[in-house]
Chains A and B, each alone.
Chain A
Amino acid sequence: MTRAGDLCLSCAGARVTLATSSDDRHPADNIIDGNPDTFWTTTGMYPQEFIISLNGIQKINKIILQSSLVRSVRIESSTSKEPVNFELRLERDLENTEGHLQYEEFTLPGVQVAHMRFVILSGFDHFVSVHRVSAEGDK
Chain B
Amino acid sequence: MVKLSAKCIVAGDTTVGKSTLVQLFRSDGSHFPKNYSMTTSMEVSVKNVQIPDTGDSVELFLCDSPGKAIFYEVTEKLWDQPGALCLVFDVTNESSFSSCAKWLQRVRAKTFSPQLPGVLVGNKTDMAGRRAVERGQAEEWAASNGLEYFETSAKELENFEQPFQALAKAFHHLYQERVENFRSLM
Contact = CB atoms under 8 A, between A and B. Distances in A.
Interface stretch (A19-27, A50-58, A81-89): A19-27
What DSSP secondary structure best describes chain B's contact surface? mixed
A101 B3 contact: no
B112 A131 contact: no
A127 B178 contact: yes
A26 B4 contact: no
A122 B82 CA distance: 11
B143 interface: no
Contacts of A43: 2-5, 175
A36 to B, nearest CB: 8
B155 interface: no
Interface in A25-49: 25-26, 36, 39, 41, 43-46
B86 to A, nearest CB: 16
Contacts of A125: 112-115, 178
A44 B179 contact: no
B81 interface: yes
A101 B186 contact: yes
B182 interface: yes
Contacts of B178: 41, 69, 125-127, 129
Given A126-B113, A126-B171, A45 B182 contact: no
B112 A41 contact: no
Interface string B1-25: 1111111000000000000000000
Nearest to B114: A125
B185 A101 contact: yes
Contacts of A139: none
Size class of the contact patch on chain A: 20 to 34
A43 B57 CA distance: 11
B61 interface: yes
B13 to A, nearest CB: 27
Contact of A123 (B2, B7, B112, B179): B112
Contacts of B1: 24
A41 B174 contact: no
Contact of A23 (B2, B81, B83): B2
Interface string A117-134: 000001111110101000
Contacts of A24: 1-2
Contacts of B7: 44-45
Contacts of A46: 81
A114 to B, nearest CB: 30
A73 B83 CA distance: 19
Contacts of B2: 22-25, 43
A12 to B, nearest CB: 24
Interface string B148-186: 000000000000000000000001001100110010011
Contacts of A69: 178
16 contacts: A25-B179, A26-B179, A43-B2, A43-B175, A44-B175, A45-B61, A45-B81, A46-B81, A71-B112, A122-B81, A123-B113, A126-B175, A127-B175, A127-B179, A129-B182, A129-B185
